[in-house]
Chains A and B, each alone.
Chain A
Amino acid sequence: EPEVTQTPSHQVTQMGQEVILRCVPISNHLYFYWYRQILGQKVEFLVSFYNNEISEKSEIFDDQFSVERPDGSNFTLKIRSTKLEDSAMYFCASNQQGDGYTFGSGTRLTVV
């Protein structure tokens, strides 16, 4: 079964530092997403990406966040200057028209 792979599984960073969360979507999928889940809360949409550009973003996805597809396989989420409230589980997902959404196992980001 094809998988969405996320690395690292857990990252601890100091407040103010930049972090890059990495994802390898399923190879024939064209639509990519990042979601965030603060501990114990619901999963929140951050951004969707298609055809090398952002197709939709939420209010959470402010100027501190950016996404990139640097090559044919990786999809990254960058947080430029992390805040304590950025601590959360970050999920990458991908899908193709007609297919369901496949989520990665998540990256638990802890900002100290």
Chain B
Amino acid sequence: AQKITQTQPGMFVQEKEAVTLDCTYDTSDPSYGLFWYKQPSSGEMIFLIYQGSYDQQNATEGRYSLNFQKARKSANLVISASQLGDSAMYFCAMREGAGGTSYGKLTFGQGTILTVHP
């Protein structure tokens, strides 16, 4: 079974509108972390936002917010006020770990290509 599933191969959004990129995960570990990365066409991996499994509030970082629904095992990324520079591949990733540690491998989803139209 896939540990991280991104069901949207591609998404389109109009500039200045909000967009939600879906991510569901599967783990039996009570302690885990969820990450979103942006990969522009130049190839680098840019960290966007992090949500810990014990965090009570949804994470926010500027125009990025994470809609964390623990019971549904989903961690959707919301980008508000989309910009042309947001066009990129977006990856959801999970770290499973014990006791609040924050090291260990990341398992990535398949990615979603976001295209922002002017």
Q: Do residues B103 and A50 form an inter-chain contact, with CB atoms below 8 A?
A: yes
Residues of A68-112 at the interface with B, using a CB-CB cut-off of 8 Å, are 89, 91, 93, 95-106, 108
Interface of B (DSSP majority class): loop
Chain B residues within an 8 Å CB radius of A50: 103
The interface residues of chain A lying within 8 Å CB-to-CB of B110 are 41-42
Is B47 a contact of A45 with CB atoms below 8 Å? no
Identify A99's interface contact among B37, B102, B108, CB under 8 A: B102
A31: CB under 8 A from chain B?
yes
Report how many residues on chain B are interfacial, defined by Cβ distance under 8 Å: 22
Of the residues B46, B102, B111, contact of A98 by C-beta under 8 Å: B102
Contact between chains at B37 and A103 (CB < 8 Å): yes
Cβ–Cβ contact A100 & B35, under 8 A: yes
B4-45, CB < 8 A from A: 35, 37, 42-45
Closest to B48 in A: A100
B91 touching A43 by the CB < 8 A rule? yes
Identify A56's interface contact among B47, B93, B105, CB under 8 A: B105
* Count of interface residues, chain A, beta-carbon cutoff 8 Å: 29
Q: In the assembly, what is the distance between CA of A66 and CA of B109, in Å?
A: 25
Complex CA–CA separation, A56 to B50 (angstroms)? 23
Confirm or deny: A18 has a beta carbon within 8 angstroms of a beta carbon on chain B: no
Taking A97-B103, A103-B46 as known contacts, 15 extra A-B pairs with beta carbons closer than 8 A to each other, sorted by chain A number, are A31-B103, A33-B105, A33-B106, A35-B106, A42-B91, A43-B91, A56-B105, A89-B43, A91-B45, A97-B102, A98-B102, A101-B35, A101-B106, A103-B47, A106-B43
B interface residues, Cβ below 8 angstroms from A: 35, 37, 42-47, 50, 91, 93, 101-111
20 A-B pairs within 8 Å (CB atoms) are namely A30-B103, A31-B103, A31-B104, A33-B106, A42-B91, A42-B108, A42-B109, A43-B106, A45-B106, A50-B103, A56-B105, A93-B45, A96-B103, A97-B101, A97-B102, A97-B103, A98-B102, A99-B102, A100-B102, A101-B106
4 shortest A-B CB distances, which residue pairs?
Answer: A103-B45, A43-B108, A45-B105, A31-B103
